[in-house]
Amino acid sequence: MRNKSISPVGDDWDCLREALLTPEERAETDIKVALLGEIVNARQSSGMTQKELEEVSGVRQPVIARLERGSTDPQLSTIIKVLTPLGKTLAIVPLDNKPL
């Protein structure tokens, strides 16, 4: 039987996330993950490749790849350019009244 090392902050992502990020950082991360997930899902659901999305959005494929990986902090205009041909837009909605 293999011994599992125990982390001082816990062994699951929620505990680690709680220990390392402020409530504001967690909220920001959640929004980014949801947005990027929506972009990837919309592109894949439409059967579109990143290259095809480049052609209809005007956003270069390497930028789309970095956006989908979450390795860039894109400008709002870039996000809108990518969302539009996917039939999506952004909306401003109230935050839930739950603690961060």
Per-residue pLDDT 10s for the chain (100 aa) are 444 555 555 568 778 878 888 889 988 888 999 999 999 999 999 999 999 999 999 999 999 999 999 999 999 999 999 999 999 999 988 877 655 5
Domain spans of the chain, in order of start: 13-86
Cα 57 to Cα 34: distance, rounded to the nearest angstrom: 21
pTM score: 0.75
Q: Which two tokens stand for residue 4?
A: 């599992």
Cα 88 to Cα 98: distance, rounded to the nearest angstrom: 27
Cα 61 to Cα 56: distance, rounded to the nearest angstrom: 11
Give the Cα-Cα-Cα angle 28, 90, 46 (nearest 5 degrees).
Answer: 105
Cα 19 to Cα 22: distance, rounded to the nearest angstrom: 8
So what CATH class is 13-86?
mainly alpha
